[in-house]
Amino acid sequence: MEKHVSEAGFSPEQIDTTRPHPARMYDYYLGGKDNYEADRDAAQRVLDALPELAVTARSNRDFMHRAVRTAVGSGIRQIIDIGTGIPTSPNTHEVARQVNPDVRVAYVDNDPIVSTYAGAKLTNSGNAGFVLADLKDPAGILDHPVTKELIDFGEPVALMLLAVMHFITDDEGAADIVRTMTERLPAGSYLILSHATADFKESDGFGKVEKVYNEESTASAQWRTKGEICAFFEGFDLLEPGVVQLPLWRPDGPVPTGADLAKHIGYGGVGVK
C-alpha cells in the first residue's frame, strides 16, 4: 500500500492558540513541548487541582502499549485509533509493528494540530493514514476515504478509544457513538478503551478540572464510574482482568500499591467481539 499523506493542510495561523485544547493539555501533562500558553495555563491549573493526572497520563500510555501488543499478538492486523493525540513516541503503529510489521493504522483526531504532525510522525511509514474528524460524527469516520482505504471491515479490527470518551458527555450521546462505531466491526474485533474516573479519590479537584474543560477548553469533560465505563463494552467479552485501574491491566513490570496505586485515576479494558 502506498504512503498516505496527511490531509492536514493547516497552517499554524489557522490553529486556534487562544483556547486550551485537550490534545495540547495532555501533551503538557506528559511533559511535551507541543502546546501554547493558553494550554499550559489551563493544564497547570488542572494539575494543581488534581496532580494525579500527570501520573495517570503516563500509565495510560503504558496501558496503550500493553493493550496494542495483546491485540496484535492475537492476530489483529488493522487498527482505528480515535483521539490519538499529539504524536508521543512510541505511537500506536510503532508499538503494533514491533509485533507485526504489516499492521495498518487509521489515526483519527479532531484537533488540527494533531493533523499537522500526522504527516511527519504518524503516516510517514506507509500503511497508516490520518483522518481529521470528530468522534461525535462516527459515520464520518467510518465512511471516510482514508479509513476505507486502510481498513477492511470484513476482517477483525482493533478500535482504540483511549482517554477520549471522557470528552464526550452522556448528553452528547457517548453510548450511541460507541455503539455506532462497534456495530460495524466484525466478530473477533477488539475494543481497547481507557477513561478517567473519580472512583479512587475524594477530592474537590474533580469538579475544578471539569470546570476548566467545560468552561474554557474546546471539549467538555465527564468523569465516569467503573460501571459506566464497562457499559461501553456492550457486545464485547472482556479479556482478563476486565476493566481495571490502568497499571493493573496485564502489568509487565512492578505494580504500584496503596497510596501510589490510588494516584492512577483511570481505568482500562480490552474486549473482544
Positions that interact with ligand SAM (CB under 6 A): 22-23, 26, 60-61, 64, 83-85, 109-111, 114, 134-136, 162-164, 167-168, 219
- In angstroms, rounded to a whole number, what is the distance separating the alpha carbons of residues 37 and 218? 15
Grid cell of 205 as nine digits: 479537584
CB burial class (10 A; 0-12, 13-18, 19+) of residue 262? middle
Residue whose CB is less far from ligand SAM, 82 or 230: 82
Q: How far is the CB of 187 from ligand SAM (least distance, A)?
A: 25
Q: How far is the CB of 30 from ligand SAM (least distance, A)?
A: 8
Distances (CA, A) of 240 to 58, 179, 243, 268: 22, 22, 8, 11
Residue whose CB is less far from ligand SAM, 91 or 154: 91
Beta bridge partners of 67: none
* Distance separating the N- and C-terminal Cα atoms of the chain: 27
Residue whose CB is less far from ligand SAM, 105 or 164: 164
Residue whose CB is less far from ligand SAM, 239 or 246: 246
Q: How far is the CB of 229 from ligand SAM (least distance, A)?
A: 14
Q: How far is the CB of 154 from ligand SAM (least distance, A)?
A: 25
